[in-house]
Amino acid sequence: MPIAPIVIDGELTIERVAELKSQFDTTLQAARSGDCIVLDMTGLYNLDGAGLQLLLGFSRALASLDASLSMQGTPESSLSLLAEYDLLERFSQAKPVSLS
């Protein structure tokens, strides 16, 4: 059974890390080898270092299960942050919001 996309709206910042970690932990419990977990980041408008650490940890945990992470609708500002830390390849499926 496919796992529903995780929708991230608003901020992925230190203020929301605990809330989102709980959601990610629930997803990890359901994930199986070969699954691709989708993060719908279309509504994201702020990503900070704590949010980035959470994404990295989630990605590593999925990899340990032989599952993967796909980011869709990633805002340009978040792609820029990933690029600044040389993480675009790690999140190679991150796609910017299409305005067309």
Element (H, E) at 10: strand 10-12
Given a contact cutoff of 8 angstroms between Cβ atoms, the answer to whether 34 and 70 are in contact is no
Q: At what angle do helices 49-64 and 17-30 cross, to 10 degrees?
A: 10
Q: In this predicted structure, what is the pLDDT of residue 97?
A: 46
31-60 confidence digits (pLDDT tens) = 999 998 999 999 999 999 999 999 999 999
Q: What is the CATH number of domain 6-84?
A: 3.30.750.24
Which residues is 74 bridged to in the sheet? 96
Q: Widest CA span of the chain, in angstroms?
A: 36
* Below-50 pLDDT ranges, the chain: 96-100
DSSP letter for each residue of 37-91 = EEEE-TTEEEE-HHHHHHHHHHHHHHHHTT-EEEEESB-HHHHHHHHHTT-TTTT
